[in-house]
Structure 1
């Protein structure tokens, strides 16, 4: 991709999505239920954090799958099938294997130590579970993606572009996700990790993310034009959910999709321009996410026992996590073997190179 058609807004969405995931994971440590899903939690809980967490929870993971599908669109433009799978293997499978056997067990050691449990080696994909999903999606959908990429003047792609040039064209996409939630009946809806709900929801988001990128300017102009409508719908549905506590699954789907569509619209309208900050963060986001749980748990280990208010603990853990992650990233990006193990290219990309989206 040349600098003239590079999509900086998609780079920004990816950075923002991973940043929100980190923020969400820090906030879990201040919820009383965090221990039940394997997090270190403080005795000084901050329950009101749940309101913004609940807003994020229905769309933070689906957004990442949408963006990952877009990333594959850009990746396969100059690659054949073999080259795509090799590149995705280096980018996804190597970090997944390293994370499963080295990094996740590290933060599990900290968790066991904090709760005075017997230390044991616990290999698991942990927070990197979605990488396995993405590789499977690429493998299954790559023939379809290559067909669509190479037949952009055909009836299928042209029909899709026409459909996605209007807001009504999004209704079939929303309907697919509604069908998924009806058939799978996830409880709770927000449980994505290593569940069939997470797999099928991610599969749909990944596929449609590719379609959005393939659709070109007509889709992005539409999504930018109607961004406020999507934001209003999502906000109204969120307020309804918070007040009623439980809502039907189809309303969660509509809310989730509208949040995501609004993010795409605002990013396209305001973030599609280069910056040195974006160049740095785009390369850092993936390695930072890989190591963040170990850093978060270490910070929690030292900060949660302190006799200070929960908001102060939150700020300290947040600072510790972000600073620690970027310190480790600075080490990773300077050592070729670490770059390889964390899914980065051997040499730092040039100024005009495309950042890789998982």
Structure 2
């Protein structure tokens, strides 16, 4: 059975990618940005780290949850071969293309800014996320197919029942806490190309699928308790800032992460589950923009950071430059050049030749 489109999940995905871009722009105004391969401004804006720290515990897990949800909807009209073929084209191809042709470009810009020796450095860079997602599809698709095709199984019914109650969130929290205890990441928010990022993403991906599998009881439950979940997230964040200067124990950050994610999903389901022309455009543009955004971020940093203007104005200008550059490149190149589209996760446009009607035949005959 084909489910109705979930516009709220599309919106959450678009918003999460937008927040990721803003977070990456903000890294350029932290003194430690150069350590993780970003162009860092000599004028730092340290107070930005407070909202960045709040985002950091849930922005990446949220994307993993949403990616797992996407697999559930993909299974509505695909068998396992079709799913793997579709995900290979949509995820693995852009991942490989990015490793060899996107990441080396912005690393070249980084070398240029710091006057380092130039070298060609193919690596996953910020696209590590895509590699993780593709691995999760390979690992979990047999489980997902079993769950989807056996929804009347006692285990699946029990899972739905548990997730349909507020206590079900504790199941997710326990899984996140167990991962934090076993892997013991330092720091907790270092996700890129780490075992912590891999296993945390795997858990989030699995539960994202299960959230949608659970149906309306789960979504009605999180909407009902959304303010409580948001309150817990806010209290834990405040406690982290005041008591631990943001360096809270991993298990507390794991709990906070789950409450933020569930709050975002709840408010999204409550207020964003409706179509719009903006969503139609942004849901297509978000993935390509994510792939290319580091190039325009680094270009903007090279141009704007040397300017003798206040730091907050530099941040605003780099924000505008990065978003404008990404969307201009998407609109003028990625979206319009058919052969380029698959390299950025978009389907190629198909063109059908309609047979000539009698009137059209007569028109072309007269015209000749």
- The TM tier, using the shorter chain, reads over 0.9
SS in structure 2 at match of 1:336: coil
Indicate if the aligned counterparts of 2:10 and 2:279 stay in contact, CA closer than 8 A.
yes
1:333 corresponds to which of 335, 340, 346:
335
Residue 274 (structure 1) aligns with: 275
Residue 171 (structure 1) aligns with: 170
Indicate if the aligned counterparts of 2:172 and 2:258 stay in contact, CA closer than 8 A.
no
Q: Kindly tell me the number of residue pairs found equivalent between the two proteins.
A: 348
Q: C-alpha distance in 1, partners of 2:138/2:198?
A: 14
Q: C-alpha distance in 2, partners of 1:169/1:51?
A: 30
Deviation at 1:5, TM superposition (A): 1.5
Q: C-alpha distance in 2, partners of 1:113/1:343?
A: 29
1:65 aligned onto 2:59 = no
Q: C-alpha distance in 1, partners of 2:119/2:140?
A: 38
Deviation at 1:76, TM superposition (A): 1.4
Residue 305 (structure 1) aligns with: 306
Deviation at 1:69, TM superposition (A): 0.2
Q: For each residue in 1:250-299, what CA deviation from the matched residue of structure 2 results, as whole angstroms up to 9, or x when unmatched?
A: 11011000000000100000000000000100000000000000010001
Q: C-alpha distance in 2, partners of 1:41/1:248?
A: 28
Q: C-alpha distance in 2, partners of 1:54/1:204?
A: 22
Residue 258 (structure 1) aligns with: 259
Q: Which protein, 1 or 2, shows the higher relative CO under an 8 Å CA cutoff with sep ≥ 6? A: 1
Q: C-alpha distance in 2, partners of 1:237/1:341?
A: 41
Instruction: Give runs of ≥4 in structure 1 deviating > 2 Å.
Output: none
Q: For each residue in 1:96-136, what CA deviation from the matched residue of structure 2 results, as whole angstroms up to 9, or x when unmatched?
A: 01100000000001000000011110101100001111111
Long gaps (5+) in structure 2:
352-368
Q: Please give the residue correspondences for 1:1-358 in structure 2 after superposition, counting only pairs within 5 Å.
A: 5-243=4-242, 244-245=244-245, 246-330=247-331, 331-347=333-349
Residue 356 (structure 1) aligns with: none
SS in structure 2 at match of 1:45: coil
SS in structure 2 at match of 1:337: coil
Q: C-alpha distance in 1, partners of 2:157/2:50?
A: 42
Deviation at 1:348, TM superposition (A): 8.2
Deviation at 1:347, TM superposition (A): 2.0
Does 242-251 or 298-307 show the bigger shift?
Answer: 242-251
SS in structure 2 at match of 1:207: helix
Deviation at 1:158, TM superposition (A): 1.1
Q: C-alpha distance in 1, partners of 2:324/2:350?
A: 21
Structure index of larger Rg? 2
